[in-house]
Structure 1
Amino acid sequence: MSKLDSSQEQYLLSAIKQDNEEAFSLIFQSYYVDLVLFGGNFIKNEQVCEDIVQSIFLKLWNERKNIQIETSLKSFLLRSVRNSCLDEFRHLEVVRQYEENYKDSVLDCYDTENYILYSDLHDHLHNALQQIPDLYREAFELNRFEGLKYREIAEKLNVSERTVEVRVSKTLELLRKQLKDFFILLLSIGIP
């Protein structure tokens, strides 16, 4: 892999612990290409392998003051690449599995014949609100669409907070009945 022997590795490791960038550069130049090629045994994507090796060297530099290498530097770097590649491989497998499951659930979930557009829901909600008595609708709209708290609505309408709470609850109850076919979508806009 490299022409560095164990005494050279020890010398260079001691030097990088003293912030010697030239020593680090020599380690990098000695091992980089071989480590990328080694990573290719696990992951067949050169860019990913390069990223992994660069991350390992970055970690080596960042942790240079405290790093303890019990084996040779070469063995340490090879083990680091192997472990990182296996972690990446497992990560890619999880991502692939998630994408597969997500794709299946999205395809199952979005029946194009029965898909309800947000604008359709908005129209149904607007029509349903028009059928609710003004006192109830006003308190509901101030709370849900303008974001006012019950106390603020009570002050604005010159009623008690309890009255506002009752009006909003009654409106929700009426909307649930009128829009029962849209229940899941209503949850997404905060109408339980």
Structure 2
Amino acid sequence: MPLENKRLSEISKRIENDDEKAFREIFDLFYFDLLAFSRPIVADEQAAEDVVENVFLRLWQNRKTLGNINNLSAYLYTATKYASINYLKARKNTCDVAIEELDDRSLYNFSTPESSMIGKENVLSIERAINQLPPKSKLVFYLVKEKGLNCREVAKILNTSVRTVETQLYHSLKKIASLLEESQVIQPRRSTR
């Protein structure tokens, strides 16, 4: 079990035992990421905040069943996705929402501890390369590379096949590498012929 999943599992157990401090840890860890995830679906900042807060409210209300959840991160993203879609359905804005149809109203934050060690100019080049990806590819990249979900979990969240997620991730990484080569952030790959 990866360290992050082990840590989340330990925090989940504490929440199951009514530990409000542990719940606050989960809230602080995921709130802004889930907000960024919900925002392009509901297309409204306040609605996204309401959706995410309701997801956390339901998490606390159902805390005694947290032991049944294998991956809290995947669970929270899935719950946020469905809560966002249910918000839209309740507002009669749509009957069915496909991730492909969402516009790119929000840019995901791709800063990591490693990015603080990379030159500012290179970080901007990397962020530009990531932001040039199509919205669904960017979301797949974000969930896999930034949030640490595996392709199976991302496929479940996005209602698509694991192979589709793997293919999108492969093409995204290839495109990012190509853009970074063009901007001379990384050295061109040598041909193996």
TM-score calculated relative to the size of structure 1:
0.45
Q: Choose 1 or 2 for highest CA Rg.
A: 1
Question: What's the TM-score once normalised by structure 2's chain length?
Answer: 0.45
